[in-house]
Amino acid sequence: MSRRVLRWWPVALATLIVLALAYGLLKPGQSPVTPLVGQTAPAFSLPTLRGGKISLAALHGRPVVVNFWASWCVPCQQETPTLERFAARYGKQAAFLGVTFSDPVADARRFVQQYGISYPVLIDHRSDTAINYGVTGVPETFFINAQGVIVYHAVGPLTAALLRKELARIGVAVRPS
């Protein structure tokens, strides 16, 4: 009896493998794990495109939105007008910062002009800040509350709905549009 059952073990194994692959293929893709959420945002102090210098420490006490982008990235081109609209609207309550890396400065400058970006854009020359924030690509955006804790890490282009939701979570009084 047991011998007759046992001889079918390769069939059971093959079935299991096929089922696991099917599940792996069909389950919805997950957003990457971001271990920094809930942690204190890593400090940085970087030169801006206009020639000044901005450090995160100096903004302590205010909510901060840090947007990593590059001029050659298509989704960045999609999200920038939305982000600019929100920055103009809520710039008094929260600090909006762009950080450009892996990008020639001249290209970044052209991009800022083309999209009329009014918030400060920082140059992360050696990508040190991007690495410190665990950035895996562009665009990625971090929402930091007034206590300096990362509340949300957005991967991919921002939408108005997402901005509204996450700005509220870092303590910005969001008005209904």
Cis amide prior to 176 (ω within 30 degrees):
no
Residue 102 is a binding residue for other proteins (CB under 8 A): yes
Q: Which of residues 56-95 bind other proteins (CB under 8 A)?
A: 72
Q: Is 107 in the site for other proteins (CB under 8 A)?
A: no
Among 40, 118, 136, 147, binds other proteins (CB under 8 A): 136
40 Cβ neighbours under 8 A, 6+ residues apart: 148, 149, 150
Which lies closer to other proteins via its Cβ, residue 5 or residue 173? 5
Candidate residues 126, 173, 175, 177; the one interacting with other proteins per rule CB under 8 A:
126
CA dihedral for 119, 123, 128, 134, sign (positive or negative): positive
Q: Does 146 participate in binding other proteins (rule CB under 8 A)?
A: no
Please name every residue paired with 65 in a beta bridge, in sequence order, or none if there are none: 96, 143
Residue 166's CB is within 10 A of a number of other CB atoms, namely 21
Q: Are 60 and 100 in contact (CB under 8 A)?
A: no
Q: Yes or no: say if 176 and 165 are a contact pair by the CB < 8 Å rule.
A: no
How many Å is the Cα radius of gyration of the chain? 22
Q: Which of 1, 2, 24, 113 binds other proteins (CB under 8 A)?
A: 24
Is residue 30 a contact point for other proteins (CB under 8 A)? yes
Q: Is 171 in the site for other proteins (CB under 8 A)?
A: no
Residue among 15, 45, 118, 159 that touches other proteins (CB under 8 A): 15
Q: Which residues bind other proteins (CB under 8 A)?
A: 7-8, 10-11, 14-15, 17-18, 20-27, 30, 32-36, 72, 101-102, 104, 126-128, 130-137
